[in-house]
Amino acid sequence: MIDPHNRQLQLAMVLKLQMLQREGLAQLSYQQLEHVLFGWVWRKGVPLSLHEAVEDLFRINADEIVVILSKQAIMDGSKKKLSDFDDLIEGVSK
């Protein structure tokens, strides 16, 4: 199993992040990309080799990342109370 702290994997992730940022996901962070990979793409198991991990990484596209992060935001939001959104609601009513 590939280690998430593997320097070569981290370099590949930085390169992919830069590509995605140029393709329209300018606000995408390294942590978000890492979450997509380890929390969704590899949720059933991290690849055994570096080349498999890099193949998965470069196969994922901006549209898939947006869908995954949207699903995560919906799941996170559904766990909150309405009062957790007071600052947003107050900002809209002003």
Q: What is the pLDDT of residues 27-83, one digit of tens each?
A: 999 999 999 999 999 999 889 999 999 999 999 999 999 999 999 988 888 887 777
What the block records as the tokens of 83 is 């009062």
For 78, the token pair is 């559904």
Structure tokens at 3: 């280690």
Q: Retrieve residue 23's tokens.
A: 């393709």
At 3, the pLDDT band (50, 70, 90 cuts) reads: confident
Higher pLDDT, 52 or 85: 52
Position 92 scores a pLDDT of 57
What is the C-alpha separation between 25 and 23, in angstroms, rounded?
A: 6
**pLDDT above 80: residue 94:** no
- What is the per-residue pLDDT for 91? 59
Structure confidence at residue 56 (pLDDT):
95
User: What tokens does 54 get?
Assistant: 């890099």
- CA distance to 22, 33, 34, 69, 94, per residue, from 39 (Å): 23, 10, 8, 11, 37
